[in-house]
Amino acid sequence: MRRMVARRLLGAVIQLFFVTIAAWLLFYVIARFTGASPAQRIAGKTASAAQVALVAKLLGLDKPYWQQYLIFLGHLIHGNFGYSYFQDRPVSSILWPATRATASLVFGAALIWLSVAAPIGAYGGLRQRSIGDVVGRGLAIVGMSIPVFWLAPMMAYFFAFEPTQGRILGLSILPTGTTLFPITGYVDLGTSPIEWAYHLILPWITLAVGFAAVYIRYIRTLTAEQLGEDYTRTAKAKGASTSRILVRHVGRNVAPTMTVLLGADIATALSGVFFVETVFNIPGLGWTGVYAIENLDYPVITGVVIVCAVIAVLANTIVDLLHGVLDPRLRRLAAR
């Protein structure tokens, strides 16, 4: 077990190392040939050549590339992501609150999509080709096909904007100026948990729809597979109720696989965050990233990419370790 953990952690460190190399190459080396140099960007357009050279020296840009990379990596390890070109403050002070907001969004959405998909998927696996199953599968394939960057404005329009005009789904039945859900804005969990949840309901649902769809399909397939196994037949033969079989037997065997999928999808959800956050104005990593891209604020873009990659790698690692805990077969395999 300990060896498995050590190997997995080492793998994670190597992945992160690759991530930093790729991010550095992209934003510090290639970017220099395609746009203005970082020294020029910081010194300003009107700076003299001597001033630019001075800034370059201060940033260490006159050193060989491998040294520059080591300096970059050293700074990263100390949590130093450099200084934003546009906002007059260090990138790390921008990234930390953004990460909190994004984490709120992603974990809340994950909770929603799991709790929606589990019953629908399990029912579909249990009663294949029943009406409920057909409807569930239909919903799933539609949910999979809805682009999140379309769903976000549509949700904002129908559930937040229209009520302020006194309409809901085109029907004028509300008093003008009704606030059903706030269109934009974000309140930190520490400030007010109720406001936090209220502001996040629409973003949570928006982000969750696509994943709920995929999870209905996962859970349905896995449940159907497990119900065909001998052990579930034994459980049924000894008189266990359907709900007991589903929860105690099937659930126990589906859980490890679901955990692994969840790890990968938390990472995938970070892509959806870009669109959801910009539409609902949540100052998270996606919003920060889009804003930085518009301004070609490379230090911030780099920071966002690296933080997201770290979250993705961490999620996958934690989930793999959890998988080992949940699935005794893996432990035995690792012990051998």
Partner 1 sequence: MTIEMPVLEQDLEQEMGRPVRLRTQVFRRLRRDPVSMFAFSVLVFLVLAAIFGGPLAAHLTGHPPNAQFANALASDSQPIGVMQRVYEANGITHNPHGSLFILGADSLGRDLLVRVLYGARISLLVAGGATALALIIGISLGLLAGYLGGWVDGLVNRMTETAMAFPNLLLAVGIAVVIGPGILNVVIIIALFTWYYPCRIVRSATASTKQMTFVAAARTMGARPRRILLVHLLPQVWGPLLVYATSIIANNILFEAGLSYLGVGVPAPTASWGSMLSDAVTSSMYTVDLPLALIPGLALLITMLSFNLLGDGLRDALDPKGARR
Q: Is 6 exposed, middle or buried (0-12, 13-18, 19+ CB in 10 A)?
A: exposed
C-beta separation of 118 from 219 below 8 A: yes
Of the residues 40, 68, 178, 221, which one makes contact with partner 1 according to CB under 8 A: 221
Q: Is 211 exposed, middle or buried (0-12, 13-18, 19+ CB in 10 A)?
A: buried
| Residue 65 token pair | 């590339």
For partner 1, the closer of residues 308 and 326 by Cβ is: 308
Query: Is residue 224 part of the contact set for partner 1 (CB under 8 A)?
Result: yes
For partner 1, the closer of residues 197 and 318 by Cβ is: 318
C-beta separation of 104 from 285 below 8 A: no
Of the residues 24, 72, 218, 275, which one makes contact with partner 1 according to CB under 8 A: 275
For partner 1, the closer of residues 256 and 272 by Cβ is: 272
Query: Is residue 19 part of the contact set for partner 1 (CB under 8 A)?
Result: yes
Of the residues 155, 209, 216, 304, which one makes contact with partner 1 according to CB under 8 A: 304
C-beta separation of 155 from 250 below 8 A: no
Q: How far is CA 84 from the centre of its chain?
A: 23
Distance CA 169, CA 159 (A): 8
Place of tokens 């003008």: 176
Query: Is residue 267 part of the contact set for partner 1 (CB under 8 A)?
Result: yes
Binding mask 21-40 for partner 1 (x = CB under 8 A): -xx--xx--xx--xx-----
Positions that interact with partner 1 (CB under 8 A): 15, 18-19, 22-23, 26-27, 30-31, 34-35, 129, 141-142, 144-147, 149-150, 153-154, 157, 161, 221, 224, 267-268, 270-271, 274-275, 278-279, 289-290, 293-294, 296, 301, 304-305, 308-309, 312-313, 316
